[in-house]
Structure 1
Amino acid sequence: MGNEWAGAAARNNAEWCDEVCRAHGVPGEFGARVWSGARRTPPLYPDAVSLTPEASAADLVARIDMESPGCSVKDSFARLDLEPMGFEVLFDAQWIHRPPGAAPVGPPGISWEPLKSADSLPAWETAWNDGEESEGLFRPELLAGDSTFLAGTSLDGTIVAGAVASRGERVIGISNLFAAGDAPGAQETAWAGCLTEVARLWPGLPVVGYESGESLDAAVGQGFTPVGALRIWLRTA
């Protein structure tokens, strides 16, 4: 089942990447093995994503701009060697899966709900970006797509946690999960609140995503299971 859920998570994540790119005027294309952007994608978003374990390095690099700076590839199954093409490993992570079922109880004092208007996006992005002012990475057009921006707000209305939930054909994908500050257990608290809201909005659907390091540990602590490795490559040569 691990490979099945890793494939579902990779597809769901590529669909979210496609939404972000199209909001920036960069059309993407889904092939049988690869999703790719027609030109350089927005910061932090890959130029290509492998959708199946059979995708080759040639499948990926043949579809993207290899000349301008910042070219990156999401090797969804950690199978490829892109070093000969001038790439280096940026980081490794794990796809994660959580079956539908009882969600953890979110902490008191933090209320979770979807963003209702584009006016809230800058504050959400600023909180996601550790307090750095919004630069418009997340465009208002995204609110009309298949993804939902979830915000955890304190009693005074300040956004202190959040995530993006992307509805796929048979899964909900979670990305961009954050918790303001570095208090112990903040990531676990964010996951608990996020999952409670996801279970309310989309009952009965499994949840997928990818994490690494302490964020992966926090997700596992909230009922997720690692189901496969992925690797992000950045072209530096």
Structure 2
Amino acid sequence: MSRSHGLPGEFGADAWTAPARTPLYYPDAVTLAPGADRAALVSRVDTAAPGATVKDSFADLDLAEAGFHVLFDAQWLHRPASGAARAPGLSWDVLRDPVALRAWALAWDGGDGNADLFRPALLDDPATFVLAGRSADGRVLAGAVASRSDQVVGVSNVFGLDGGPDAAWPGVLDTVHELFPTLPVVGYEQGEDLTAAVRHGFEPVAPLRIWLHSQ
């Protein structure tokens, strides 16, 4: 996402960081190994501008002394490679063009004014797949973003306009399975979204934490 906004990040030994403020909802740093060096991590994040966030992937950092507070706690999720019973009424596909992406983003946003987060450059990333569930008349009613690695498929931004994530997960999982039949699916959720994911075969496997810099 950051790269699609013209902001490439940098991988270090124990964390990925961005040199400037990342897009809304996306962290400025992500820990990649347990026991990340707190001081080194914070030094690579722009805390002068409002809204700096850190995705503490192992929930093992204490960033309070660096001026952060816990925004929320969540759970990493894992689901073995398999499809799901696709809910009737929606036709699922992978978006290929900016016009379709815009329609998807407006449906995802629900009128909050943040649809511009999803820029056409996102479609150029060979590891990113924007999934759309459409009604018979072509309207986007559900969707998600799948990110493929060599070992897993990460799924995020799951939404359903009628029925919430429960209406989206069957189609999302079937589409991911069609694209990558041997890869397990991972992600993270909290609250009711976590409960919905568990209903669709995910298992919580570990905690994570999101920190927000206090201004």
Q: TM-score range by the shorter chain?
A: over 0.9
CA distance in 2, matches of 1:211, 1:232: 12
1:1-237 to structure 2, matched below 5 A, reads 20-101=1-82, 103-133=83-113, 135-145=115-125, 146-181=127-162, 183=163, 186-237=164-215
Query: Aligned-pair RMSD on alpha carbons?
Result: 1.2
Structure 2: which 5+ residue stretches go unaligned?
Answer: none
Identity of aligned residues (%): 53
**Partner SS for 1:53:** coil
Post-superposition Cα deviations, 1:95-127, rounded to whole Å, max 9, x if no partner, equal 0000113x1111111111101211111111111
Post-superposition Cα deviations, 1:123-171, rounded to whole Å, max 9, x if no partner, equal 1111111234554211111111010000011111111110000011211
The number of residues matched between the two structures is 214
Equivalent residues of 2:108, 2:115 under 8 A apart: no
CA distance in 2, matches of 1:66, 1:133: 25
What TM-score does the superposition give when structure 2 sets the normalisation length? 0.95
Post-superposition Cα deviations, 1:197-228, rounded to whole Å, max 9, x if no partner, equal 10011111110000111111111111111111
CA distance in 1, matches of 2:104, 2:63: 35
Q: CA deviation at 1:59?
A: 3.0
Moved beyond 2 Å, runs of 4+: 131-135
Q: CA deviation at 1:79?
A: 0.8
